[in-house]
């Protein structure tokens, strides 16, 4: 039974993705609700039926009171079958309607709607560019992805569990009172007008208050996760107190916004108490007055009393449901600030997969200043021949990393082009471009997964033997076999911790090297690839590095100039331009920037204090 309802909607069903998702709340909710339209219609109808049944029971109880005024034998003779029918309806049909309503809400909608929103939101956010992620807290993004789906699900739940039901119930109540005596509708309508006013006052304030509180909670999450992610720096600089103060500022802001939200609810509850008193006195008092004048039956008084007491109990729930509905919509609106942002870095229409036949890279008048007018690259033109090994050097902030990020199309250039084997990289699919490029970075963060999963990230279809061979080439196999995590998993099954924190820098770097070896892409980028390795390990894998480069087009960024001295060509960057290029010996003979770097090296490193410029914007 449960599975039948749970499988009514597939939350992972295919859907047309868009680069410009709806930015308004109602279109956003409707867009995510499309797979549920049929289920929503049935749930809404059943909600109306359940409310009608409840009103009908109150009318039936009034009818029972009226017929009980005669002789019991005559009552049974006249109404026995009707009473039996009423009992059977209460025992069987009423539970059936309510069961179907609950199954649709709790089993068909709630688990699947939140899952659908979370899945699609995560899918949408993963399509964003590197620059988009660099402009926000990872914790805040994750918090919005996690809190928006349950908020959207709760809003949908309240529509059918409370709003549709309560509207149907109130309409039924007016019909019931009007049937007993039209004059009983007057105090009900007066109360309903005051109740609507209180409701309007509440919901117009609670949405904004809820969004502010949700924003504040996301801000807290962002700051807390930032501290946890950089816990090594926190501990190394003994900045626990500073981090507490930094978080306290956000936590206090969250407390104050939540206090403001709760004040609205307190005023709402006080207003409800006054209104409900008016409802009971107005409707029941008038019903008694009509009975005393002979204009209403005892059953009508009983029905009016039962109805008002039921409404008295329901009004708080209805108001709370409505405010919950708008509060959750406030949370969804806050989440939309992340989820509904347009995808700016997209594949071109009719983009085709990149085909690498030789590996030639042609850069033409390439400029990118991150929208600031300075920094980054400025009109760089460069051709890297197929299979050529290029060393890239320069002070921090001269555009080396910017060039690499543009080559990977993490950003689109402000002007100029990058072509690989004659194909403009903005006209090919991003995934196919990045599959053809292997990169080892200075800080090679790993996934909080097993060593095996991290290695196979380079080539998921690789065999166990291929994976182990890559690890051996990177001098990683031996230490991997000694690993064991807190759950007792060993070797390639051991988990490495968030960003690989359970491993040393050299171990992380060797796993990253093994991953790129396994990927075996025709274009290779090494960004300080051996900086985290000690001299002995670096010497041991030098042959592996040169083996990796064989037959590939290579760009190697290095401050340790000895690691690139044997490259086919070395490019020296300064101020966003290529100012020198040539082989190692030729550059030394020029007595220019490169020769100065080489002369100032201490232990093979580029002197970071030599004419230091601004930090690299990339």
Supply φ then ψ for residue 558, to 5 degrees. Answer: -155, 145
Return d(Cα 65, Cα 298) in angstroms, integer.
7
pLDDT at 615: 36
Looking at the fold, whether 161 and 278 belong to one and the same domain comes out as: yes
Query: How many Cα neighbours within 13 Å face the side chain of 263?
Result: 9
Q: Per residue in 81-92, pLDDT tens?
A: 999 999 999 999
pLDDT at 605: 52
Name 516's Cβ contacts closer than 8 Å, sequence gap at least 6. Answer: 438, 439, 440, 458, 524, 548
**Is residue 33 included in any domain, yes or no?**
yes
Long-range (24+ apart) CB contacts under 8 A made by 12-15 are 12/116, 12/119, 15/120
Q: Per residue in 318-346, pLDDT tens?
A: 777 877 888 888 889 889 989 999 999 99
Q: What is the mean pLDDT of residues 212-231?
A: 85
pLDDT at 531: 65
The last residue of one of the domains, among 274, 306, 339, is 339
**Is residue 500 included in any domain, yes or no?**
no
Helices 110-126 & 298-339 angle (0-180, nearest 10): 20
Across all residues in the chain, what is the average pLDDT?
87
- The 8-class DSSP code of residue 9 comes to S
Looking at the fold, whether 166 and 213 belong to one and the same domain comes out as: yes
Looking at the fold, whether 363 and 288 belong to one and the same domain comes out as: no
**Is residue 255 included in any domain, yes or no?**
yes
Is a pLDDT exceeding 60 seen at residue 495? yes
Pairing verdict, β 523-527 and 437-440: parallel
Query: 570 forms bridges with which residues in the sheet?
Result: 391, 582
Number of domains in the chain: 2
Looking at the fold, whether 257 and 231 belong to one and the same domain comes out as: yes
Return d(Cα 527, Cα 518) in angstroms, integer.
18
Greater model confidence, 600 or 47: 47
**Is residue 78 included in any domain, yes or no?**
yes
Residue 79 — very low, low, confident or very high, per pLDDT cuts 50/70/90?
confident
Query: For residue 76, what is the domain's CATH number?
Result: 1.20.1560.10
- Comparing 39-53, 124-138, 255-269, 492-506, the range with the smallest average pLDDT is 492-506
Query: For residue 371, what is the domain's CATH number?
Result: 3.40.50.300
- Comparing 26-40, 380-394, 444-458, 542-556, the range with the smallest average pLDDT is 542-556
Distances (CA, A) of 131 to 69, 344, 371, 412: 80, 10, 12, 10
Is a pLDDT exceeding 80 seen at residue 357? yes
pLDDT at 402: 92
Is a pLDDT exceeding 70 seen at residue 611? no
Looking at the fold, whether 368 and 315 belong to one and the same domain comes out as: no
Distance from CA of residue 428 to its chain's centroid?
A: 27
What is the separation, in whole angstroms, between the first and last Cα of the chain?
Answer: 56
Is a pLDDT exceeding 60 seen at residue 613? no
The closest alpha carbon to 328, from 159, 148, 205, belongs to 148
Is a pLDDT exceeding 90 seen at residue 98? yes
pLDDT at 532: 58
Helix runs in 34-137, H state only: 37-67, 72-88, 94-103, 110-126, 130-134
Q: Per residue in 471-493, pLDDT tens?
A: 999 889 999 999 998 889 999 99
Return d(Cα 163, Cα 254) in angstroms, integer.
29
**Taking a C-beta distance cutoff of 8 angstroms, is the pair 361, 523 a contact?**
yes
Helix H or strand E segment including 22: none
**Taking a C-beta distance cutoff of 8 angstroms, is the pair 257, 334 a contact?**
no
Residue 533 — very low, low, confident or very high, per pLDDT cuts 50/70/90?
low
pLDDT at 134: 85
**Is residue 539 included in any domain, yes or no?**
no
Query: 319 forms bridges with which residues in the sheet?
Result: none
Supply φ then ψ for residue 611, to 5 degrees. Answer: 50, 45
**Taking a C-beta distance cutoff of 8 angstroms, is the pair 584, 568 a contact?**
no
Looking at the fold, whether 329 and 405 belong to one and the same domain comes out as: no
In the β-sheet with 577-582, what is the strand arrangement from edge to edge? Answer: 437-440, 523-527, 553-557, 389-394, 569-574, 577-582
Looking at the fold, whether 334 and 367 belong to one and the same domain comes out as: no
Residue 582 — very low, low, confident or very high, per pLDDT cuts 50/70/90?
very high
Looking at the fold, whether 25 and 59 belong to one and the same domain comes out as: yes
Q: How many CB atoms lie within 10 A of CB 550?
A: 9
Return d(Cα 419, Cα 412) in angstroms, integer.
13
Q: Per residue in 593-610, pLDDT tens?
A: 999 988 887 444 555 444
pLDDT at 290: 82
Helices 185-229 & 164-180 angle (0-180, nearest 10): 170
Q: What is the mean pLDDT of residues 505-519?
A: 89
Residue 294 — very low, low, confident or very high, per pLDDT cuts 50/70/90?
confident
Return d(Cα 162, Cα 158) in angstroms, integer.
5
Is a pLDDT exceeding 70 seen at residue 616? no
Query: 417 forms bridges with which residues in the sheet?
Result: 364
**Taking a C-beta distance cutoff of 8 angstroms, is the pair 363, 380 a contact?**
yes
Looking at the fold, whether 317 and 373 belong to one and the same domain comes out as: no
Looking at the fold, whether 248 and 369 belong to one and the same domain comes out as: no
Indicate the SS3 state at residue 368: strand
Return d(Cα 340, Cα 337) in angstroms, integer.
6
Looking at the fold, whether 409 and 295 belong to one and the same domain comes out as: no
The last residue of one of the domains, among 316, 339, 362, is 339
pLDDT at 606: 54
Q: What is the mean pLDDT of residues 115-138?
A: 91
Is a pLDDT exceeding 50 seen at residue 354? yes
Return d(Cα 566, Cα 388) in angstroms, integer.
12
Largest distance between two CA atoms of the chain: 123
**Is residue 474 included in any domain, yes or no?**
no
Highest average pLDDT, of 2-16, 57-71, 198-212, comes from: 2-16
Looking at the fold, whether 356 and 295 belong to one and the same domain comes out as: no
Is a pLDDT exceeding 60 seen at residue 617? no
pLDDT at 39: 96
Is a pLDDT exceeding 80 seen at residue 460? yes
Supply φ then ψ for residue 532, to 5 degrees. Answer: -90, 5
Supply φ then ψ for residue 401, to 5 degrees. Answer: -70, -30
**Is residue 531 included in any domain, yes or no?**
no
Query: 438 forms bridges with which residues in the sheet?
Result: 524
Q: Per residue in 416-439, pLDDT tens?
A: 999 999 999 999 999 999 999 999
Q: Per residue in 243-280, pLDDT tens?
A: 999 899 999 999 999 999 889 888 888 888 888 888 88
pLDDT at 537: 66
Q: Per residue in 107-116, pLDDT tens?
A: 999 999 999 9
**Is residue 512 included in any domain, yes or no?**
no
The last residue of one of the domains, among 285, 309, 339, is 339
- The 8-class DSSP code of residue 92 comes to I
Length of the chain: 618
pLDDT at 610: 47
Return d(Cα 599, Cα 584) in angstroms, integer.
13
**pTM for this prediction:** 0.78
Domain that holds residue 282: 19-339
**Taking a C-beta distance cutoff of 8 angstroms, is the pair 345, 409 a contact?**
yes
pLDDT at 520: 93
Indicate the SS3 state at residue 484: strand
Return d(Cα 462, Cα 297) in angstroms, integer.
84
**Taking a C-beta distance cutoff of 8 angstroms, is the pair 492, 450 a contact?**
yes
Is a pLDDT exceeding 90 seen at residue 295? no
């Amino acid at each position: 039974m449960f599975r039948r309802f749970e499988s009514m909607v597939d939350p992972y069903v295919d859907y047309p993705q868009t680069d410009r998702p709806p930015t308004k709340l109602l279109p956003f909710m409707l867009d995510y609700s499309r797979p549920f339209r049929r289920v929503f219609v049935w749930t809404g109808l059943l909600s109306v039926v359940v409310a009608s049944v409840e009103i009908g029971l109150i009318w039936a109880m009034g009818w029972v009171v009226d017929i009980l005024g005669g002789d019991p034998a005559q009552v049974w003779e006249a109404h026995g079958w009707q009473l039996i029918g009423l009992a059977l309806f209460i025992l069987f049909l009423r539970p059936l309607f309510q069961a179907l309503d609950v199954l649709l809400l709790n089993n068909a909608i709630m688990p699947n709607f939140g899952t659908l929103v979370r899945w699609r939101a995560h899918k949408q956010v993963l399509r964003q560019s590197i620059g988009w992620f660099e402009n926000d807290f990872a914790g805040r993004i994750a918090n919005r992805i996690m809190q928006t789906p349950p908020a959207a699900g709760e809003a949908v739940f309240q529509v059918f569990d409370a709003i549709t039901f309560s509207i149907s119930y109130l309409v039924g109540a007016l019909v019931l009172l009007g049937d007993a005596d039209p004059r009983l509708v007057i105090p009900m309508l007066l109360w309903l007008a005051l109740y609507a006013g209180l409701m309007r006052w509440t919901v117009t304030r609670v949405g904004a208050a809820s969004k502010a509180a949700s924003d504040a909670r996301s801000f807290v999450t962002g700051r807390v996760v930032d501290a946890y992610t950089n816990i090594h720096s926190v501990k190394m600089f003994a900045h626990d107190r500073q981090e507490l103060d930094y978080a306290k500022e956000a936590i206090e802001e969250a407390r104050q916004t939540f206090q403001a939200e709760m004040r609205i609810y307190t005023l709402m509850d006080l207003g409800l108490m006054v209104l409900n008193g008016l409802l009971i006195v107005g409707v029941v008092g008038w019903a008694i007055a009509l009975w005393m004048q002979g204009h209403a039956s005892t059953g009508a008084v009983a029905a009016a009393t039962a109805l008002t007491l039921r409404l008295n109990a329901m009004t708080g729930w209805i108001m709370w449901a409505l405010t919950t509905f708008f509060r959750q919509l406030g949370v969804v609106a806050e989440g939309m600030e992340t989820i509904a942002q347009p995808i700016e870095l997209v594949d071109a229409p009719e983009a085709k997969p990149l085909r690498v036949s030789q590996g030639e890279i042609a850069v033409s008048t390439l400029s990118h200043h991150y929208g600031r007018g300075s920094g980054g690259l400025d009109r760089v033109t460069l051709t890297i021949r197929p299979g050529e090994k290029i060393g890239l050097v320069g002070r921090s902030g001269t555009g080396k990393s910017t060039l690499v990020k543009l080559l990977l199309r993490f950003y689109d250039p402000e002007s100029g082009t990058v072509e690989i084997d004659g194909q403009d990289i903005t006209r090919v699919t991003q995934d196919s471009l990045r599959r053809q490029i292997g990169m080892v970075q200075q800080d090679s963060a790993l996934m909080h997964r097993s060593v095996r999963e991290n290695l196979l990230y380079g080539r998921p279809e690789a065999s166990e033997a291929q994976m182990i061979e890559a690890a051996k080439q990177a001098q990683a196999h031996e230490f991997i076999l000694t690993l064991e995590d807190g759950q007792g998993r060993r070797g390639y099954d051991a988990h490495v911790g968030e960003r690989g924190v359970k491993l040393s820098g050299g171990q992380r770097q060797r796993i990253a090297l093994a991953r790129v070896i396994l990927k075996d892409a025709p274009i290779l980028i090494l960004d300080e690839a051996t900086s985290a390795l000690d001299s002995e390990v670096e010497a041991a894998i030098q042959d592996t590095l040169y083996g990796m480069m064989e037959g590939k087009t290579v760009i190697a960024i290095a401050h340790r100039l000895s690691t690139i001295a044997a490259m086919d060509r070395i490019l020296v960057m300064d101020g966003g331009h290529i100012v020198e290029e040539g082989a190692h010996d030729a550059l030394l003979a020029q007595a220019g920037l490169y020769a100065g770097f080489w002369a100032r090296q201490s232990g093979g490193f580029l002197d970071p204090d030599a004419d230091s410029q601004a930090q690299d914007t990339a």
